[in-house]
Amino acid sequence: MELILESLFNSVAIGSVLLVAALGLAIVFGLMGVINLAHGELMMVGAYSTYVTQLIFKLPILKPFYDIYVLIAIIIAFIVSGTVGILLERTVIRRLYGSPLETLLATWGVSLILQQFVRSVPLAYATGCVITIFISLLFSTVIPQNLLQGNRRKLIKTGALGTSAAAGVLTASALASLVSKLSRASSRNVDVTAPPWMRGGVDVLGMTFPKTRLLIIVITIISVVAVSIFLNKSVWGVRIRAVTQNRDMSECLGISTESVDVITFGIGSGLAGVAGVAVSLLGSVGPNVGGNYIVGCFMVVVLGGVGNLLGTVIASFSIGLMTDLIGAGRLLTIWPNMPQPLASTVDFFSTTSMARVMIFALIVGFLQYRPAGLFPQKGRMVES
């Protein structure tokens, strides 16, 4: 019984990491039909945002609140990754809708640029760049359109851009002077230290459950519930689903499809940032951290059915269960009398890397009989 409970917990823990990582991709890929290979790098941005938040909360003025820095980091990572994602949508992806191959190549190029950017630019100045982008996008949203008419248009836009740049420079300078570690280049891996209340484990039924894993499971549950409520209950959620079903008719009904695209991509990218927070709590953060999850994210989305939230949840935990049973060699322990040929096969794949190969092969085989995944896909890709 204890072995089964341990296996179930490990499956849920692995599945939770996959789910929170794939949730944003399920929105962008499933609802918008965009193959975003830079999704892993958006996770990396969220992970580095957690590290920066940790260093800021170590300052004397904020040290009394250090225990809650992870909760603040979730919000900051969502905003930072969402800001980078919106910039990506406005500058690159907006011109490539309906061109999957071009989108794939463009986002792959963006992923390489983001990796090199993190390697080459000190975190303080990278933070300043994000602040500049965020304030610039904020100005473009809050400034009334009636002010952007005539000769005032260029003057107001120039002033907003100058203010955003000044805020970014001041933020970068302040961070570089206050936190010495942020002024160093970030090519090496960095570690995020969990606050004291997240260390250790919780003893239940003679078993110890790590608090970090439990927090990731809670973050995943909250993220899934929030996305479900947003898509099904909010006004913008209804608009997103309407544009997904019929873009032309939505435009005829007065829905701003460009705004829907921005919001959808921003939320999907923000969720990637939240996944970055979870990933940062599990190990070191480096420029290549997102690449370790991008293939798994696409496996989850395709297996569950593109654009289906329930399918994404089921696929995540199914892959988590298979990873624990095969990769950890737990299946041999649960079934000690396994036939020798099958036992030899399971033993051969009882490593993390080889387990991924086996799971990938099983998913490919499953898709031969059910190409649409567990649930039929819905979205623009169906119409095309």
pLDDT at 323 > cutoff 60: yes
| Banded pLDDT at 188 (limits 50, 70, 90) | low
CA 288-210-24 angle, to 5 degrees, is 45
How far is the C-alpha of 299 from the C-alpha of 335, rounded, in Å?
27
pLDDT at 381: 44
pLDDT band at 152 (very low <50, low <70, confident <90, very high): low
Q: Is the pLDDT of residue 156 over 70?
A: no
- Would you say residue 82 lies in a domain? no
The answer to whether residue 265 sits within a structural domain is: yes
Taking only the tens place, the pLDDT of each residue in 208-263 is 778 888 888 888 899 889 988 988 888 888 888 888 777 788 888 888 888 888 88
Q: Which residue has the tokens 């894993």?
A: 213
Nearest to 276, CA basis, from 76, 77, 18, 71:
77
**pLDDT greater than 70 at residue 376:** no
Above 80 in pLDDT, residue 324? no
In this predicted structure, what is the pLDDT of residue 78? Answer: 92
Contacts 24+ apart (CB under 8 A), 2-7: 2/205, 2/206, 2/207, 3/330, 3/333, 3/334, 4/334, 5/205, 5/207, 6/207, 7/321, 7/324, 7/325, 7/330, 7/334
For residues 312 and 352, give the distance between their C-alpha atoms in angstroms, rounded to a whole number. 22
Confidence of residue 74 (pLDDT cuts 50, 70, 90): very high
Other beta carbons within 10 angstroms of residue 235's beta carbon come to: 7
| Residue 120: inside a domain | no
Between 92-96, 131-135, 150-154, 157-161, the lowest mean confidence (pLDDT) is in 150-154
Sign of the Cα torsion 78, 82, 85, 89 reads: positive
pLDDT at 190: 80
Give the C-alpha distances (Å, rounded to integers) separating 6 from 167, 184, 209, 283, 352.
50, 42, 9, 21, 18
Residue 72 has pLDDT above 50, yes or no: yes
Task: Tell me the pTM.
Answer: 0.85
Considering the chain, what percentage of its residues have pLDDT values greater than 70? 81
Contacts of 171 (CB under 8 A, 6+ apart): 127, 128, 131
Number of independent structural domains in the chain:
1
In a domain, 185, yes or no: no
Q: With contact defined as beta carbons under 8 Å apart, do 356 and 298 qualify?
A: no
Q: Residue 342: count other Cβ atoms within 10 Å of its Cβ.
A: 12
The answer to whether position 139 is within a domain reads: no
Domain that holds residue 261: 2-34+190-383
What span, in angstroms and rounded, lies between the C-alpha atoms of 314 and 155?
Answer: 52
pLDDT tens string 109-120: 989 988 888 888
Q: Which residues contact 55 (CB under 8 A, 6 or more apart)?
A: 179, 181, 182
pLDDT band for position 382 (cuts 50, 70, 90): very low
